[in-house]
Amino acid sequence: MTFTQPASRRPSSRPAGVLIQRCGFSLRGFVRVLLLTLIGGACNVSLADPPDGQAAEAAPAVALGRVGGYDADWGVLVRRSQAASVKIYGAGGGGLVAYQSGFLVSPVGHVATAWSHVLDVDPIVVLDDGRRFEAEIVGFEPRLELAVLKVDADDLPYLELAEELPQVAEPILAVSNLFGIASGDEPASVMQGTVSAITRLDARRGTFKTPYSGAVLIVDLVANNPGAAGGAVISPEGLAIGMLGKELRDSAAGVWLNYALPSSSLREAIGNIVAGRDLVVTDPTTPLLPRDRSHHPMGLGLNLVPDVLENTPAYVDRVTPGSPAARADVRPDDLILLVGNTRIDGQRTLAETLRRIDRRDRVVLTLQRGARIVSAELEP
């Protein structure tokens, strides 16, 4: 597949006072992003606090010229977008960074971000003003590589999600904590670019390995950097039109893909989670059943990898022939993500969740198999 750049371009000359610059993946580009972050925090555009007794609202649309020239409204849009962005810290090590980005999607602390290894532990979320919260993972959708977190705060600035796909060549801003530049009340980094193309990620099946297979926005900016995943892509009207995807590399050609998942694909899932219709948390009110009345991994034919870590992932090592797992086509190396609507973050969570299910009832698993997400129904 060949992606072509749009013929139209913004003029290269930019008036003084412009806060946004495009940068490439180089030391010089990295310094530009760092300077942009510092300048963005120092700009004399501020967010007014909401009146007493009135909840915070999404930032209103900002009218921006789309062809030629920049004006002061770009600075307003940058600051509002930064105010609704968050930094997320969690699991890492072994060559994996322990941070990523996200953005607020409700005034009461719901955060949209990328589903990744960083969320293998309860994450820490840092708001634009530097406040730190222990966040709760209230829902996630593996097929969309989406997770929604919740912090205990209200009256927060947030971004509205666009309902439709943007146009090719649409100017955009990408707001994220790439490279972990910000750690406290420093503003998130901002890059400016355009939507270069809209295509389906599965058009190159087997090349870019990811569970997501829907439409993506190919963006003309260097977004595929550590920590950028989960950041917001902003339209000139101030809407979140996409979420920056995780680092994605063609292992054969060594090509990195700069892309975002469109908000039109994420909107329904985020709405269901925020509204409480699609939560993936264990119900603590469901009692643990006696062992002889409940399910157990081995009783279902699930033989997991050795549990040698503090929180060992629920990888299947082998499947007992003739067992419920074998009949449901569960395979070695499958990773168990969900049991019903309960998120499985490790083997102990799996065992505890199965203890809450009567052994006469079926068990519905959501599995990650390589780059695919599959479901399996285990009948006892």
Q: Flag whether 310 is in a domain.
A: yes
Domain final residue pick, 226, 241, 274? 274
The answer to whether 116 and 99 are in contact (CB under 8 A) is no
Is the per-residue pLDDT at 361 higher than 50?
Answer: yes
Task: Please tell me whether residues 239 and 342 are part of one structural domain.
Answer: no
Q: Flag whether 83 is in a domain.
A: yes
In this predicted structure, what is the pLDDT of residue 196?
92
Helices (H), the chain: 27-42, 73-83, 263-274, 324-327, 347-354
Average pLDDT over residues 65-80: 62
Q: What is the pTM of this model?
A: 0.68
Beta bridge mates, 93: 96
Residue whose pair of structure tokens reads 């600075």 in the numeric block: 75
Task: Please tell me whether residues 222 and 297 are part of one structural domain.
Answer: no
Helices (H), 188-311: 263-274
Least trusted range by pLDDT, from 106-120, 207-221, 287-301: 207-221
Task: Please tell me whether residues 200 and 90 are part of one structural domain.
Answer: yes
Task: Please tell me whether residues 296 and 256 are part of one structural domain.
Answer: no
Task: Please tell me whether residues 62 and 131 are part of one structural domain.
Answer: yes
Q: What angle do CA 113, 57, 235 make, to 5 degrees?
A: 55
The answer to whether 378 and 360 are in contact (CB under 8 A) is no
**Which residues constitute the domain of residue 125?**
27-274
- DSSP secondary structure letter of residue 321: T
What percentage of the chain carries pLDDT values higher than 70? 74
Is the per-residue pLDDT at 39 higher than 50?
Answer: no
| Domain count for the chain | 2
In this predicted structure, what is the pLDDT of residue 250?
64
In this predicted structure, what is the pLDDT of residue 202?
55
Residue 176: exposure state from Cβ atoms within 10 A (0-12, 13-18, ≥19) = buried
Domain final residue pick, 248, 274, 300? 274
Is the per-residue pLDDT at 41 higher than 60?
Answer: no
Can you tell me the distance from the alpha carbon of 178 to that of 227, in angstroms, rounded to the nearest whole number? 4
In this predicted structure, what is the pLDDT of residue 280?
56
> 10 Å Cβ neighbour count for 96?
12
Residues 314-328 have pLDDT tens digits of: 999 999 999 999 999
240: helix, strand or coil: strand
Q: Flag whether 18 is in a domain.
A: no
Task: Please tell me whether residues 239 and 373 are part of one structural domain.
Answer: no
Is the per-residue pLDDT at 86 higher than 60?
Answer: yes
Can you tell me the distance from the alpha carbon of 158 to that of 44, in angstroms, rounded to the nearest whole number? 20
More confident residue, 36 or 302: 302
Is the per-residue pLDDT at 40 higher than 70?
Answer: no
Average pLDDT over residues 236-265: 83
Task: Please tell me whether residues 319 and 267 are part of one structural domain.
Answer: no
Task: For the chain, give the mean pLDDT.
Answer: 79
Task: Please tell me whether residues 343 and 264 are part of one structural domain.
Answer: no
